[in-house]
Amino acid sequence: MTITAAATPVTTTHVHLRTGGTSLLLDVAGEQLPRVLHWGPDLGELTEDDVAELRRASEPPLVSGQADVVVPVGLVAEHSRGWFGTPGLTGHRSGADFSTAFTLTGVTTERPDGDPVVAERVVVTAADDVAGLVLRVEIELLTSGLLRERADVTNTGAGVFDLTSLDLALPVPTEAQEILDLTGRHLRERAQQRHAFTLGTHLRESRRGRGHDASLVMAAGEQGFGWRRGEVRAVHVAWSGNTRTYAERTNLGDSLLAGGELLLAGEVRLGEGEAYTGPWVYASHGIGLDEMSARFHRYLRSRPGHPRSARPVLINVWEAVYFDHDLDRLKELADLAASVGVERFVLDDGWFGSRRDDTSGLGDWVVSADVWPEGLGPIVDHVHGLGMEFGLWFEPEMVNPDSDLYRAHPEWILATGGRTPVPARQQQVLDLAHDGAYAHVRDQVLAVLAAYDIDYVKWDYNRDLVDAGHWPTGQAGVHRQVEAVYRLIDEIRAAHPDLEIESCAGGGGRADLGILERTDRIWTSDCIDPLERQQIEAGTALLLPPELAGSHIASPVSHTTGRAHSLDFRAGTAFFSHLGIEWDITRATPEELARLTAWVAAHKAHRDLLHTGDVVHADHPDDALWVHGVVAADRAEAIFTIVEVRTPVANPPGRVRLPGLDPAARYRLTPLAPGDAVAGRTGQRPAPWMAGGAVLTGETLARVGVQAPALNPEQMVLLHLTRL
């Protein structure tokens, strides 16, 4: 049980939060909103005099053409203070009160006793009596050194206040000269892109209600920062709807990262006494992306609700049977799956209503008597009889026009202006802010979960939100839709506390920390081509540890790209994450099944390390070779992979470094079966060390490295290190 200490009013001119290698130094002198004097590496103990000197040293000179006073950038940037960048809070009251000037009314701090997540908390309150608004900003420094903040605004004036944005900002140093963010699309999520951090605003918005193309993180760092080098800072908006993140640099020398919910016009209209609370904005820093992302990983693992048990190896039957649900065929798949070591069997789309293809049935969450005349009991019982868990696919937020639900209630979709939104995947979005629509979905899903012993739900979400209005008002409805989805998942979890839920959104379109407060993993992408997955999973790892990212061993020929890959490359790519299989293994040869069994067994033998250790990457100069791995928290063991994504410049490629180990310890390095097969060209001799292994210090492995094996493109090898 967490015992929270009472909040203590601040009586000094600053607040200094310190933990996990992080400092946040807030200047709370004066009547304006606090400004951040420093956010980043721990500054150590600071006296009041130290802070006063830092405050003086940080005050810029006054120059021509600017205001006659220093322009402070508070936690919520204000135009009224002379800030000409993006204001933190925007809105109006019938055209007035468009510019805020908040006066500080209180600052309290507390140290929650026994909390595994939150180390320190500060709460700032401020008011603008002219605009009729009260602002509250909550800042938490987490035990991992991760920072998070959120704000709420209350309308205390007469009439309605139309809120249009509430963004929180954190400063970054001048040395941050490069921006990294993520982009993508369906089947190619979270690709990294970089460019210079120039004057102006680099804004990334997601207006789809999900985020295949959105930036999961936005980072700013020293020129050329990499996985292990260069100071870098990043922010993430933990919200499963529309979001905005931006990096901004002004000609006054200020640079910042900021983010919040993207509010559509008229979406949040606050009556007198009503309040809006924005999402958590998370912020991390580090030397290199590995240290930055490690703070996210450690935070997620510190949560009481984080999955603790071994992540079950699963098979999802989608790419094996699609909509062709035949009991005998599915039993055969289950038998084979159990024989190769699978622990969870997931029945995907096609089990309900008229759902024989993707044109009908969504919204009718009743087991189809045509396909399952005896209900799901026979397959559920068969799977459990084999010692496996049973999982089932739902898409609760969607409806096909060809469905009983839509025919009965066409008004229950998100729509506005008396028009039907453009179709996508031949479906529309149920407006869960309608009490009737919400109750229908909740009751039908709970009825299925009550009727059968279901251990796992794949919760899908396959279309963007377009023209997402609430009937009959026509008011924008994305914000309320997200709140309703959260409430729906929370209700289902409360009724079935042992149920695990996967967040799937056409693959990896909903992978934020808001949805992961309620789910147990994400489906990283609908693309399981292992070559594509290498970059998709590298981008995902900037935020999520491997146990929260589902990665499946694909069919020999990829369903989404048409490329063919060896079983070893497919399995080796999926090896590090929450492992699954998405392949019609009834068509596999005996040799393939034996090899698959070996890969599943190897993953099980090492998943405790893979799902608790630190994720590390090497900054290799030739990007044809990717080197990454997981190092145990105590540095006693590690597993790395060397991946050749295309032909390298040199052949042999030379030495590769293995970072993150204990520099003073000695390690035995050996190839790890079954990822030890090196199928190079005829006549090649493997690197001598691979035959009998090698013993080297962690410092040598990080500074010098070992000769990489000669691989063909789209091959990889696993390496195992144990401390002597």
As annotated, the active-site residues are 460, 526
How far apart, in Å, are the Cα atoms of 44 and each of 22, 285, 482? Answer: 9, 16, 41
CA separation for the pair 263, 50 (Å, rounded): 41
* Residue 31 contacts residue 13 (beta carbons within 8 Å): no
Q: Which two tokens stand for residue 489?
A: 């998942």
Q: For 307, which DSSP code? A: -
CA separation for the pair 482, 378 (Å, rounded): 36
CA separation for the pair 158, 702 (Å, rounded): 64
Q: What is the CA radius of gyration of the chain?
A: 27
Q: Which two tokens stand for residue 102?
A: 């908040």
Q: Which two tokens stand for residue 317?
A: 């039957």
Q: Which two tokens stand for residue 173?
A: 């140093």
CA separation for the pair 366, 114 (Å, rounded): 45
Task: Specify the 3-state DSSP secondary structure of 536.
Answer: helix
Q: For 203, which DSSP code? A: E
Among candidate residues 564, 616, 579, 572, the one with its CA nearest the CA of residue 595: 572
Three-class DSSP labels, 328-387: HHHHHHHHHHHHHCCCEEEECCCCECCCCCCCECCCCCCECCCCCCCCCHHHHHHHHHCC
Phi, psi dihedral angles at 289 (to 5 degrees): -65, -30
Phi, psi dihedral angles at 575 (to 5 degrees): -55, -40
* Residue 555 contacts residue 582 (beta carbons within 8 Å): yes
CA separation for the pair 398, 259 (Å, rounded): 28
Q: What residues pair up with 185 in beta bridges, in sequence order?
A: 188
